[in-house]
Every structure is written in structure tokens, then in C-alpha cells.
Amino acid sequence: MGLLDQVTGMLGGGQNSDLGKFQAILTWVNQQGGIQAILEKFQQGGLGAIVASWISSSMANQSISPAQIVSALGSPAISELAGKLGLDTGTASSMLAQYLPTIVDKLSPNGEVKADSGSDLLSMATGLLKGKLFS
């Protein structure tokens, strides 16, 4: 059991809860090579301006559509996440469209994504979990 599993479990977030889904997304991002690898796929898919808005500290995050998520990351990757979440691929890509801008934004507070974002994902997840329960 990973540390994210333990944190979510302690806070009552099972796989079907929002916290469990958020945890599954973070774990999946790490399995895809981390935030840097995900961002490179978006940039290669022609979505560099959208990604730049998520990283920038001077502009609002642009939204991304579920179709753009699938186009950039590929159906197999989305299907893998959908399987982990117990959802269909459309719902999984919608969740990524909702959460990825925030995840990237939080990992780039100074306008650039840190190279070692794996540990930052854990820190961010812990902070968000605490915020949901204690705010």
C-alpha cells in the first residue's frame, strides 16, 4: 500500500469517493511518467498554449476538453485510468479535464513545473485532502 493509499484511507476516501478518484488520478499521472511527460504529450498534440496557461502565474488556467485529453494522451492511457476508477472512458477523460489544470497549476507556483514532481504530487494530495476535511 502506497503512502497516497494510506493518507486517503485514513481520511475515509475509498476508491469510489472523490478523494479516491483524485488519488487514482495522481497515481495514474505518476505511472504515465509524471507531470512532465503528460505536459510533453499535450505540447506535442498542439495544446502548448493551454498547458502554458496552467503553468503561468500571470494568466488564468485555460480549460481543456475531454476530447483534447484523449487526443493528446491516447485512448489506451485513458482506458487504463477509467479501469482504475471503475468508469467509462468518457467520464475518465472529463475528470482529467477537470483536475489536470489544477494539478499542474499547483505544481508550478513559480511559473515552472519542478523536475521532481512525484513527491510534490504527494504533498499536494495531502494538502488537498486536509483542506477538504478541515476547511
Rounded Cα–Cα distance for residues 92 and 85 (Å): 8
What is the tally of structural domains in the chain? 1
pLDDT in tens, 99-127: 888 888 877 777 777 655 455 555 555 55
Rounded Cα–Cα distance for residues 23 and 126 (Å): 10
Query: What is the structure's pLDDT at 27?
Result: 84
The yes-or-no verdict on residue 9 having pLDDT over 60 is no
Query: What is the structure's pLDDT at 120?
Result: 54
Domain extent at residue 45 = 3-134
CATH number at residue 45: 1.10.10.690
pLDDT in tens, 18-71: 667 777 888 888 888 888 889 999 999 999 999 999 998 888 999 999 999 999
Q: Which three cell numbers stand for residue 6?
A: 494510506
